[in-house]
Structure 1
Amino acid sequence: MRAVSRQHKPTWGPCATGVGRSARLRPVGDEAASRTRMATSDDAEAIAGIYNQGIAERIATFETEPRSAADIARQLAEKGDRFPTVVVERDGCIVAWAGAGPYRSRPAYAGVAEHSVYVDRAARGTGAGRLALDALAAAYRERGFWKLCSRIFPENAASITLHARAGFRVVGVYRRHGKLGDE
């Protein structure tokens, strides 16, 4: 698992979920079709659907049990405005999301958040992940965070590439850090 980090400078002024790759959505360059916004409890079902794809693929999270919309709604409520989740919406459908939580509980880390980005299978490669990541970074800058970090499985080449292109860098590699099922 790779640990990546980007430090922010203090001067920062009918959905396709679950559909195979053949149902590819149009690229994000069509601004009229894509927008980012803060997630609400109404988005919980779509967020759960995308997250459950990541759980099933086994290259994005150590979670093994699918999450329900109720699980996600509860999590959104618990995080509140301090740790918001953002979504990318295209033609009225959620195609990606990004969220974060505290990095550590000590006060020294109050401006550091650990984040994740998930993209619906049908929207991968269209720029939706980058939109989600950039929107998340902006939302956290506005809340006084100076750093976002993430842990990315080495098998998750798309996420590694996304983060590198967004200015993150590898700061370490965890070896034998977790065990996913019998693997």
Structure 2
Amino acid sequence: MLPQGDLICPGTLLAVEEEFSAGEGSYEENGNIRAALAGKVFYDMISRRSNVLPSKKTLFTSLKKAKYVYGIVTSIKEETANITISSIEETFISPISGILHVSQTANKYIKTITDAIRTGDIIRAKPITYTTPVFLTLKGKDLGVIIATCSICGHLLIKADEEHLKCPNCGNIEQRKIGNYMVKKLAN
């Protein structure tokens, strides 16, 4: 039995059927009671039911307090990019949709959004709205691309300077909005 109010993910074991029955937001599987959705666990001690209360308000509160989120760029249009957010700070969450506008990629002028990010990049961003889709910004020294792959050969890019990444495999150089947390630097 988990502590009352614990934040849990779908599939988390809540109890066994000898202790509790499945309630709202939970289900029984092979004698185990599991969470059917993300939220807070609530045990009804009178009716002996395991319940999971949806975490929409919890997600809103977490986003409002968040200094940053992590996500992957899933698609790019003319002026916007769609981001799948999978982590609020260091806590993994069920994926939610995010949007990044070209005007929110850097403190300087960026001609096209692909000068800052590309599809498949993993970014560290700050939420500026708190409902889905979550609007994001990369303005800030610690925000930007943290993992990127070469658009030619697919290898992991490494930091060449403050705005450029280099492929150690084919030598391709690409421009990105790089955060302080870029995974690797080019060794001289």
| TM-score normalised per structure 1 | 0.28
Higher CA-based Rg:
2
- Relative to the length of structure 2, the TM-score reads 0.27
More helix by share: 1
